[in-house]
Structure 1
Amino acid sequence: MKPSCYDNDGKAVKRKYGCTPNVCNLHGVARSFSFMDAGANTYLIRPNYKDKFKAGVAKECIREILREQLYGVQFNPDEAPALSRSLADSIKNKLKDVGFDKYKLIVQVVVGEQRGEGVKMAARCLWDADTDSCAQDIYMNDSLFCVAAAFGVYHY
């Protein structure tokens, strides 16, 4: 039996696809429905403001890790790959501890020898400018330079 639906004045209305969510008469029993019933879908497609990836906070985390782990380190080409991997892991773990839940964190670290030459780096991403962001910091001493970038991409 198809339910009879009623408009706001209490008049019976035939609906092609069933009742509106306001009032419905199914088998002679009037029932009201609301959009926020128990078990309603609470999935968020945008993060709350307090949960967004904050580039300033991420930059401070990156700066702290780079200063702690690179102070007094001399460039060694054999150790550079392991050093950059270790720095990237440390930065990613620190950012996870900050609490960027529902964000995919991508960390890129480049370590090179400081020889007074210029270096240009670029990164391109396709993302949602409302939810996604990035932070980067540079560390230099007499022997090496390090560029670290962290990308926070909201995971829908």
Structure 2
Amino acid sequence: MASSKLNANERRKSSVSSDRRSSVHMQPNSIMAALAAKKAASTLLGRIKDRRSTTVKEQPHLEPTYKLKPDKKILYNQIKHIVDNVLKTIFDNFDYDSKRAKMICPVISQEIQRELKQLCVERYKFVCQVFIGENKKQSIQLGSRCTWDVTTDNSASGCYQTATAFCCATVFAVYCE
């Protein structure tokens, strides 16, 4: 009888400890699990709300302008001035490092595009390419070809050199009809 009581107590202890283990796994034990649960709940609530709502939000109807030419054309000198200023400002004290060059290329491109958008020229899209290389007195030729309207579209390039690196940026300004 004593052995049967021991077996019953051991079974009870093992079932309690297994219950504890399973309850620990059921509770969110990290911030990520809590965030995932919150996101899942909000997604489900959003789906339920979408099913209930029958109204459709109307977007304002804008008439097409049919403008084939811009009110104000962007000029080569404007683009060139911005490219040269940004390259000089950012690239002035740059010492070449391939990892750093990889990081600074998008920064230069975004800064040039930000400056161009401040010109407030409507309906122009800007594409900017930036090349950075180590300056070892080598030569490089960069070229591009475009199909565009010569009366509205424009491009400009700028280069800047330090003792250890060079940077070339090209901007294409394309009018979108």
Q: Same fold (TM over 0.5)?
A: yes
Code of the aligned partner of 2:86 = I
**Number of residue equivalences:** 115
User: 1:1-150, aligned counterparts within 5 Å?
Assistant: 42-48=65-71, 51-150=72-171
Greater relative CO, 1 or 2 (CA 8 Å, sep 6+):
2
> How far apart are the structure 2 equivalents of 1:113 and 1:41?
49
Question: What's the % identity of the aligned pairs?
Answer: 26
Deviation at 1:43, TM superposition (A): 3.0
Deviations 1:29-66 (A, max 9, x none): xxxxxxxxxxx975311113xx1121101110111111
> How far apart are the structure 1 equivalents of 2:147 and 2:66?
23
TM-score computed with the length of structure 1 as normaliser: 0.70
Name whichever structure is richer in helix by fraction.
2
Q: Secondary structure at the match of 1:78?
A: helix
| Runs of 4 or more above 6 Å deviation | none
Name whichever structure is richer in strand by fraction.
1
TM-score computed with the length of structure 2 as normaliser: 0.62
Gap regions ≥5 residues in structure 2? 1-62
Deviations 1:81-120 (A, max 9, x none): 2111100000000000112210010000001000000001
Q: Secondary structure at the match of 2:155?
A: strand
Gap regions ≥5 residues in structure 1? 1-39
